[in-house]
């Protein structure tokens, strides 16, 4: 007999689940592809919805659902699908953007991209614009025999890229350019694909165009930061050159202040661009993954999407990564230069402190000598005054007959005794002050 313990459905239901178990299990099913039949017309929009725009956009979608008597998306869901008459909406909310994908009705007799996308985009006006528009795609799915070579003339031949799906059952093409209406047109030709395969291919193509645009958002940020990085590198070189000849503490302090301000400026720029460059890397990886998952096969005479994007998009990504690397290297160089200057300043301050301690010791010795001199003078002065008082007493006592000794002799005996007593008393007071704890 086996010692294994089998846990059935009822036992699992009684076990306390992790609070995130449902979310983790549902994540792999969050963006299912839906079957698409030929012909099909899909309008895809992507909006920047970072910050409070995301909450406002969700509220507008809920209002739309309620106005049509449809159940709204649950609060935790980031993906939602609903039907509005003959149109199907797929709504997806991400960390900094939201997409609206509309499957609009198609006239089977219409040619490629007819009628215009603008005439079909009325459903997008059902909700307020969520944020600045980033992506607008007009994707048309047709059977291969419905398209002639002349209809591909709508694309710019210079940037036209097309490829076959690896099994040869489909072909897709685009020129990655916005037409006069502002849409990037993508044509997908069916050569015997199943509706499920068409649906997954459509989703991959829309993801490629969406994340391609998002990845390139890092390029303007890199171009914006480049002049400030150049200026910072030049200023750092000037300061380090001055460090070679500077020997004065004030000069070192001034250069240290300059480096500290420069480091703060560089770190502020790096912090502001940290998310943008990281997001661009992640989006670029998603584009590469989507292209790999499609499995492109080259069409004679045309570049594939992968080769086109590598040639046009890779330099922008390298610029972003190079700018980020320059920021990191500049921060390290600034830190090293600042530490070197700080060390020099500390050494000079220690030298000044040693000189100050020497001068304080000399002043202390001088004060002790002066104190000894003052003590001697004080003993003499006090002895003189006490002797004067004693002489008055002795003379008065001699005149009244109470003292039978000559006053001069009594005073002569009193003077050394008084001086010795006062000296001993002053010495005792000085030692008691020295031994008194601070």
Question: What are phi and psi for residue 6, nearest 5 degrees?
Answer: -90, 130
Neighbours of 70 (CB within 10 A): 13
Tell me what pLDDT residue 148 has: 53
Domain boundary among 355, 372, 395: 355
Tell me what pLDDT residue 227 has: 93
| Host H or E run for residue 131 | none
Q: What is the DSSP string of 339-385?
A: HHHHHHHHHHHHHHHHHHHHHHHHHHHHHHHHHHHHHHHHHHHHHHH
Together in a domain, 313 and 393: no
Together in a domain, 41 and 185: yes
Structure tokens at 316: 């922008």
How far is the C-alpha of 402 from the C-alpha of 34, rounded, in Å? 135
Together in a domain, 421 and 282: no
Together in a domain, 171 and 290: no
Q: What is the DSSP string of 157-207?
A: TTT-EEEEETTSSEEEEEEEEE-TTSPEEEEEEESS--HHHHHHHHHHHHH
User: CA torsion sign, 411 to 417 to 423 to 425?
Assistant: negative
pLDDT band at 250 (very low <50, low <70, confident <90, very high): confident
Together in a domain, 80 and 134: yes
pLDDT band at 304 (very low <50, low <70, confident <90, very high): very high
70 domain-assigned: yes
How far is the C-alpha of 56 from the C-alpha of 111, rounded, in Å? 38
Together in a domain, 40 and 105: yes
269 domain-assigned: yes
How far is the C-alpha of 26 from the C-alpha of 10, rounded, in Å? 21
CB 106 within 8 A of CB 41: yes
251 domain-assigned: yes
Together in a domain, 331 and 242: yes
Together in a domain, 368 and 346: no
Together in a domain, 74 and 175: yes
Q: In the beta sheet, which residues pair with residue 76? A: none
Q: What percent of the chain has pLDDT over 70?
A: 92
pLDDT, average across residues 59-80: 92
Together in a domain, 45 and 122: yes
Domain boundary among 355, 373, 395: 355
Tell me what pLDDT residue 108 has: 81
16 domain-assigned: no
DSSP assigned state of 216: T
Together in a domain, 185 and 224: no
> Of 11-20, 30-39, 281-290, 382-391, where does the model show the most confidence?
281-290
Together in a domain, 238 and 349: yes
Domain boundary among 355, 378, 398: 355
Question: What are phi and psi for residue 48, nearest 5 degrees?
Answer: -80, 120
DSSP assigned state of 126: G
Range of the domain at 397: 364-435
CB 92 within 8 A of CB 98: yes
Q: Report the number of distinct structural domains present in the chain.
A: 3
173 domain-assigned: yes
How far is the C-alpha of 83 from the C-alpha of 91, rounded, in Å? 11
pLDDT in tens, 120-164: 999 999 999 999 999 999 999 998 875 555 567 788 888 999 999
Strand 296-298 to 133-143 pairing: unpaired
Tell me what pLDDT residue 438 has: 53
End-to-end Cα distance, the chain: 85
pTM: 0.75
> Which of 322-331, 380-389, 428-437 has the least mean pLDDT?
428-437
């Amino acid at each position: 007999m086996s010692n294994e313990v089998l846990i059935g459905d009822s036992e699992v239901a009684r076990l306390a689940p992790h609070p995130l178990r449902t979310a983790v299990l549902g994540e792999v099913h969050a963006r299912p592809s839906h079957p698409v039949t030929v012909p099909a017309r899909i309008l895809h929009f992507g909006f920047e919805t970072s910050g409070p725009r995301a909450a406002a956009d969700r509220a507008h979608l809920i209002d739309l659902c309620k106005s049509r008597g449809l159940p709204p998306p649950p609060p935790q869901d980031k993906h939602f699908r609903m039907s509005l008459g003959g149109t199907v909406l797929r709504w997806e909310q991400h960390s900094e953007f939201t997409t609206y994908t509309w499957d609009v009705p198609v006239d089977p007799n219409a040619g490629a991209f007819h009628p215009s996308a603008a005439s079909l985009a009325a459903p997008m006006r059902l909700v307020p614009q969520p944020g600045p528009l980033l992506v607008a795609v007009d994707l048309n799915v047709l059977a291969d025999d419905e398209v002639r070579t002349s209809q591909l003339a709508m694309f710019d031949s210079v940037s036209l890229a097309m490829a076959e799906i690896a099994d040869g059952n489909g072909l897709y093409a685009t020129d990655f350019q916005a037409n006069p209406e502002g849409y990037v047109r993508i044509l997908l030709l069916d050569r015997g694909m199943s509706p499920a395969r068409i649906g997954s291919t459509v989703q991959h193509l829309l993801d490629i165009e969406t994340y391609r645009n998002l990845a390139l958002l890092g390029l303007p940020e890199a171009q914006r930061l480049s002049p400030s990085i150049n200026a910072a590198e030049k200023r750092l070189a000037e300061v380090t050159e001055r460090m070679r000849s500077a020997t004065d503490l004030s000069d070192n302090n001034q250069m240290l202040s300059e480096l500290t301000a420069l480091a703060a400026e560089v770190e502020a720029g790096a912090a502001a661009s940290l998310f943008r460059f990281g997001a661009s890397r992640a989006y670029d990886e998603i584009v590469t993954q989507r292209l790999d998952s499609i499995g492109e096969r080259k069409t004679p005479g045309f570049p594939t999407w992968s080769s086109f994007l590598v040639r046009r998009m890779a330099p922008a990504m390298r610029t972003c990564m190079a700018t980020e690397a320059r920021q990191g290297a500049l921060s390290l160089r600034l830190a090293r230069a600042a530490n070197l200057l700080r060390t020099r300043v500390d050494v000079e301050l220690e030298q000044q402190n040693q000189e100050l301690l020497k001068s304080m010791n000399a002043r202390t010795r001088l004060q002790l000598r002066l104190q000894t001199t003052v003590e001697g003078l004080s003993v003499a002065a006090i002895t003189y005054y006490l002797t004067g008082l004693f002489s008055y007493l002795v003379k008065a006592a001699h005149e009244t007959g109470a003292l039978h000794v000559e006053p001069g002799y009594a005073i002569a005996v009193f003077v050394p005794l008084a001086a010795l007593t006062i000296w001993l008393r002053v010495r005792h007071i000085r030692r008691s002050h020295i031994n008194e704890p601070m």
